[in-house]
Amino acid sequence: MTEINQKLLQLILEGKSTQTILETLKLTPKQLKIRLQSLKNSGYNFEYNISDNGLITYKPLLGTFHNATNTIDLNLEKDKEEFTFLAISDMHIGHKLDCLENLDLIYEYAKQNNINIIVNCGDVIEGCCNNENESTIRKQVEKLIQNHPFDKDVLNLTLFGNHDYTPLEKYNINISDIITAERSDFVSLGFGTGIINIENSQIIIFHPVKHSPCYPNFRFPSNWVENKLVLKGHGHHNSIKTTSKRCILKVPTISNVIYSQTSSLPGAVKITMHLDEEGNLKVVNAENLVITRQIYTAGYFKHTFNGKSIILGENKLLSKQLKRTT
Of 178, 136, 139, nearest in space to 45 by CA: 178
Predicted local confidence at residue 160, as pLDDT: 95
Predicted local confidence at residue 313, as pLDDT: 59
Is the sign of the CA dihedral 277, 84, 124, 324 positive or negative? Answer: positive
249/111 Cα distance (integer angstroms): 24
Q: Given 41, 60, 79, which residue is the final one in a domain?
A: 60
Residue 324 has pLDDT above 60, yes or no: no
Q: Are residues 119 and 53 in the same domain?
A: no
Determine, yes or no, domain membership for 219. Answer: yes
> What would the mean pLDDT of 284-312 be, rounded to a whole number?
86
Q: Are residues 95 and 184 in the same domain?
A: yes
Predicted local confidence at residue 312, as pLDDT: 65
Q: Are residues 187 and 266 in the same domain?
A: yes
Residue 142 has pLDDT above 70, yes or no: yes
Higher pLDDT, 97 or 313: 97
Q: Are residues 53 and 126 in the same domain?
A: no
130/187 Cα distance (integer angstroms): 27
Q: Are residues 38 and 74 in the same domain?
A: no
The CATH number of the domain holding residue 249 is 3.60.21.10
Q: Are residues 30 and 96 in the same domain?
A: no
89/249 Cα distance (integer angstroms): 12
183/60 Cα distance (integer angstroms): 25
Percent of the chain at pLDDT > 90 equals: 48
> For the chain, how many structural domains are there in total?
2
Q: Are residues 76 and 45 in the same domain?
A: no
Residue 275 has pLDDT above 90, yes or no: yes
Determine, yes or no, domain membership for 325. Answer: no
On average, the pLDDT of the chain sits at 85
Predicted local confidence at residue 43, as pLDDT: 78
Torsions phi, psi for 171 (to 5 deg): -120, 5
**pTM for this predicted structure:** 0.79
Model confidence pLDDT, tens digit, residues 307-321: 777 766 555 444 444
**Of 112-121, 163-172, 248-257, 315-324, minimum mean pLDDT range:** 315-324
269/247 Cα distance (integer angstroms): 14
158/263 Cα distance (integer angstroms): 23
Predicted local confidence at residue 159, as pLDDT: 95
Determine, yes or no, domain membership for 239. Answer: yes
Alpha helices in 113-182 (DSSP H): 134-147, 162-171, 175-182
Determine, yes or no, domain membership for 237. Answer: yes
Buried b (16+ CB within 10 A) or exposed e, 215-254: eebeebeeeebebbbbbbbbbbbbbbebeeebbbbbbbbb
Higher pLDDT, 73 or 273: 273
Q: Are residues 136 and 265 in the same domain?
A: yes
Angle of helix 175-182 relative to helix 162-171, nearest 10 degrees, comes to 110
Predicted local confidence at residue 36, as pLDDT: 87
The model's confidence at residue 238, banded by pLDDT at 50, 70 and 90, is: confident
Q: Are residues 107 and 161 in the same domain?
A: yes
The CATH number of the domain holding residue 46 is 1.10.10
Residue 215 has pLDDT above 60, yes or no: no
| CB-based contact 63:255 (threshold 8 Å) | no
Determine, yes or no, domain membership for 79. Answer: yes
Q: Are residues 33 and 116 in the same domain?
A: no
The model's confidence at residue 322, banded by pLDDT at 50, 70 and 90, is: very low
Determine, yes or no, domain membership for 324. Answer: no
Q: Are residues 43 and 82 in the same domain?
A: no
46/9 Cα distance (integer angstroms): 10
Determine, yes or no, domain membership for 124. Answer: yes
Query: Nearest 10 degrees: CA dihedral of 192, 197, 201, 206?
Result: -10
Q: Given 15, 30, 60, which residue is the final one in a domain?
A: 60
16/39 Cα distance (integer angstroms): 16
Percent of the chain at pLDDT > 70 equals: 85
Predicted local confidence at residue 41, as pLDDT: 79
Determine, yes or no, domain membership for 326. Answer: no
Residue 218 has pLDDT above 60, yes or no: no
Domain that holds residue 23: 3-60
The model's confidence at residue 118, banded by pLDDT at 50, 70 and 90, is: very high
Q: Are residues 153 and 266 in the same domain?
A: yes
